[in-house]
Amino acid sequence: MKLFPKLFLSHLLVVIIAEAAVFVLVEFFAPRFFAEHVARMVHMVQMMGMGPMAESLRIDLENGLSATLTSALLVSLPLSALLAAVTAYWVSRRLARTANLLASGSRRMASGDYRLRLPVEGRDELAELAVHFNNLAEALDRVEQSRVELIGNVAHELRTPLAALQGYAEAAADGVMPPEAVARAINREVAAMRRLVEDLSLVSRVEAGSVELELAPHDPAVLVRAAHDRFASVFASAGVELRLELPAEGLPPVRADAGRTDQVLANLLSNALRHTPEGGTVILRLEPQGGFARFCVRDTGPGIPEAYQQRIFERFFRLDAARSRGSGGSGVGLTVSKGLVEAMGGQIELRSRPGEGAEFCFTLPFAKA
């Protein structure tokens, strides 16, 4: 039997049982209560010297009550049953409709369609259930889109080195290139593919929260200076000024993994260098923020449109989709940076306005004494 008939019959059965109980109880108790009241009236009439009339009055009142009460119940019970049936039909219909929508939606989601959304009616638990179902469908839809984008991006990233490898193999077969040059070119493309595989592996471990960290107290100024010294010559050769700004007073040690912190700073500096034109400036700044040390990398590039800022930390997301891997990185640097910072107990954020550059800042907690 379907859910709707079950609900309707169950509601109707409850109503019938309740009405039968009311009928029996009223027929049983009402005459007794009325008889006590009539007895008091008869006693008062007898006190007034009207004994024979009082007994006749008592019998007539009791018979009238019984007939009137039964007639009233027989008339009101069908009307109340009809009203209860209409109410039970409406309630059962709504419950069954929500259950049917959930069932059909679940079947569509099981088949891979995550675009279905249930209508939200009212503010009760059924409406809340529909809201949770829609949230689940939306989350699964995002996961599916992310999966499709991941497959497409990996295929795109592998297409270039594979095409290059095929070209070098054909050149070697035709004798166009000497074997030594072909070997060097193949090693270069294989190294690029290896970096991609390592990036993907790191992203998966970061998102799964399984990155191994060696947390220890470190001087944040030393970490910043090391990153600055590492990239100073790279920025100079690109014609971009790399400026270091440290607080006047030293900061307490931060609890962090030195290698992973250097990796985050390297990702942010590399990203800033790619988007800063020649003659521009990138500022690497360290400052306190409550119980955290705040690391910031600010560039004078074109900035990031507001529509893209919510997606900037997604894996493989690039502002310029046509940019190649060689000039644009693997597209997972910011994703990895966000995961590593959060794993070390900090937060990372972006501030940018189009035409005014972009600033990435992340925090690391001070080490407790």
Please tell me the predicted confidence (pLDDT) of residue 295: 97
Q: Is the dihedral of CA 237, 240, 246, 248 positive or negative?
A: positive
Please tell me the predicted confidence (pLDDT) of residue 40: 60
Q: Which ranges of the chain have pLDDT less than 70?
A: 1-13, 19, 21-77, 79, 94, 122, 124, 150, 316-331, 369
Q: What is the largest CA-CA distance in the chain?
A: 142
Please tell me the predicted confidence (pLDDT) of residue 254: 96
Please tell me the predicted confidence (pLDDT) of residue 50: 54
Please tell me the predicted confidence (pLDDT) of residue 322: 43
Please tell me the predicted confidence (pLDDT) of residue 241: 95
Please tell me the predicted confidence (pLDDT) of residue 265: 95
Please tell me the predicted confidence (pLDDT) of residue 33: 56
pTM score of the predicted model: 0.58
Q: Nearest-CA neighbor of 264 among 350, 349, 364, 336? A: 336
Q: Are 115 and 127 in contact (CB under 8 A)?
A: no
The pLDDT tens digits for 11-65 are: 666 777 776 766 666 666 666 656 665 666 666 655 655 555 556 655 666 666 6
Please tell me the predicted confidence (pLDDT) of residue 243: 95
Please tell me the predicted confidence (pLDDT) of residue 52: 59
Tokens of 331: 């597209």
Q: Are 314 and 335 in contact (CB under 8 A)?
A: yes
